[in-house]
């Protein structure tokens, strides 16, 4: 079964440092997303990406965040200057159509110290 | 009112029991509906889509009532492996695209 692949599985970083979380969506999917889940809380939408541009973003996705699809397969989330409250599981997801259920990657656990 | 609301549980049931989860959503423009399952510290996995006509997948039955903005999931003959958090998820339109809105989840613990 096709998978969404995320790397690394766990990242520890110092406050103020930049991090890049990487994702390889399913190859024939057109819509890509980042969600996050703070420990013990619900999954929250960050950003959606279609046709090489952001289509929607949440209030969480401020100027510290950016996404990129640098080539035909990778989809990255960059946090420019991490804060303690950025500590969470970050899930990448993709879908062939925006109204379908998504396939999520196994997540990157980001710990900011 | 929360966008997607679920009873957090936990539901503690014996193996073989039937258990039902409910969910309500606030945005009447929502277009598609899902139940996801999440195991501890893992990614959400799509369990099933939910249709107005009701749909069944083995031991799992999902139902949608658009008029009441209510979604349900019924699990029959519970197995130990069904223990997980069940997430009610609603695909909600935004200005240029959609987003999934997650409920906080209902915890199910199946015991032998």
What is the pLDDT at residue A71? Answer: 86
Interface test with A, best of B99, B102, B103 (most A CBs within 10 A): B99
HEC string for A6-68: EECCEEEECCCCCEEEEEECCCCCCEEEEEEECCCCCCEEEEEEECCEEEEECCCCCCCEEEE
Cβ contact A112:A15 at 8 Å: yes
Q: What residue has token string 């889940």?
A: A37
- Rounded to whole angstroms, the Cα distance separating A11 from A98 reads 29
What is the pLDDT at residue B97? Answer: 86
Nearest residue of chain A to residue B99 (CA atoms): A45
Put simply, the answer to whether B97 touches A31 (Cβ < 8 Å) is yes
Contacts of A25 in chain B (CB under 8 A): none
Taking only the tens place, the pLDDT of each residue in A62-94 is 999 999 998 878 999 999 999 999 999 999 999
DSSP annotation of A105: P
Nearest residue of chain A to residue B85 (CA atoms): A42
Q: Which residues, in sequence order, are bridge partners of residue A48?
A: A33, A56
Cβ contact A16:A80 at 8 Å: no
Predicted confidence (pLDDT) at residue A58 exceeds the cutoff of 90: yes
What is the pLDDT at residue A17? Answer: 98
Predicted confidence (pLDDT) at residue A98 exceeds the cutoff of 90: no
CB-defined contacts A:B, below 8 A = 61
Put simply, the answer to whether A100 touches B32 (Cβ < 8 Å) is yes
Predicted confidence (pLDDT) at residue A97 exceeds the cutoff of 90: no
Number of CB atoms found within 10 A of residue B52's CB: 11
Taking only the tens place, the pLDDT of each residue in B6-34 is 998 999 999 999 999 999 999 999 989 99
- pLDDT grade for A54, boundaries at 50, 70 and 90: very high
Q: What percent of chain B has pLDDT over 90?
A: 84
Interface test with B, best of A43, A44, A55, A89 (most B CBs within 10 A): A43
> Å from A94 to nearest chain B CA?
12
Q: Supply B32's token pair.
A: 């598609």
Residues 9-48 of B with CB under 8 A from A: 31-32, 34, 36, 41-46
Which of B105, B53, B10 lies closest to A37, judged by CA?
B105
Predicted confidence (pLDDT) at residue B54 exceeds the cutoff of 90: no
What is the pLDDT at residue B34? Answer: 96
Predicted confidence (pLDDT) at residue A2 exceeds the cutoff of 90: no
Taking only the tens place, the pLDDT of each residue in B79-92 is 999 999 999 999 99
- Rounded to whole angstroms, the Cα distance separating B55 from B62 reads 5
Put simply, the answer to whether B100 touches A100 (Cβ < 8 Å) is no
* Residue with more model confidence, A108 or B54: A108
For residue B80, say if its preceding peptide bond is cis, omega within 30 degrees of 0: no
Predicted confidence (pLDDT) at residue B2 exceeds the cutoff of 90: no
Residues 48-67 of B with CB under 8 A from A: 49
What is the pLDDT at residue A83? Answer: 97
Q: How far is CA B31 from CA A11, B21, B79, B89, B110, in A?
A: 36, 20, 31, 11, 32
What is the pLDDT at residue A72? Answer: 78
What is the pLDDT at residue A101? Answer: 84
Cβ contact A56:B92 at 8 Å: no
Which of A33, A55, A109 lies closest to B96 in CB terms? A55
């Amino acid at each position: 079964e096709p998978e969404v692949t995320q790397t690394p599985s766990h990242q520890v970083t110092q406050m103020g440092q930049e991090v890049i979380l990487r994702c390889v969506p399913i190859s024939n999917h057109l819509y890509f997303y980042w969600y996050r889940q703070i420990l013990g809380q619900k999954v929250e939408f960050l950003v959606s990406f279609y046709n090489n541009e952001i289509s929607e973003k949440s209030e969480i996705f401020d100027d510290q965040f950016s996404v990129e699809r640098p080539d035909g397969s990778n989809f990255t989330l960059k946090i420019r200057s991490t804060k303690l409250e950025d500590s969470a599981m970050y899930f990448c997801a993709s879908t062939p159509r925006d109204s379908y259920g998504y396939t999520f990657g196994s997540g990157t656990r980001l710990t900011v110290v | 009112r929360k966008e997607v609301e679920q009873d957090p549980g936990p539901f503690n049931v014996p193996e073989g029991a039937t258990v039902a989860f409910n969910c309500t959503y606030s945005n009447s423009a929502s277009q598609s509906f899902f139940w996801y399952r999440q195991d501890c510290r893992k990614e959400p996995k799509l369990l099933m889509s939910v249709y107005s006509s009701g749909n069944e997948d083995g031991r799992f039955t999902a139902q949608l009532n658009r008029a009441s903005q209510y979604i349900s999931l019924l699990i029959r003959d519970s197995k130990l492996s069904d223990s997980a958090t069940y997430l009610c998820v609603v695909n909600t339109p935004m200005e240029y695209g959609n987003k999934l809105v997650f409920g906080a989840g209902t915890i199910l613990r199946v015991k032998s």
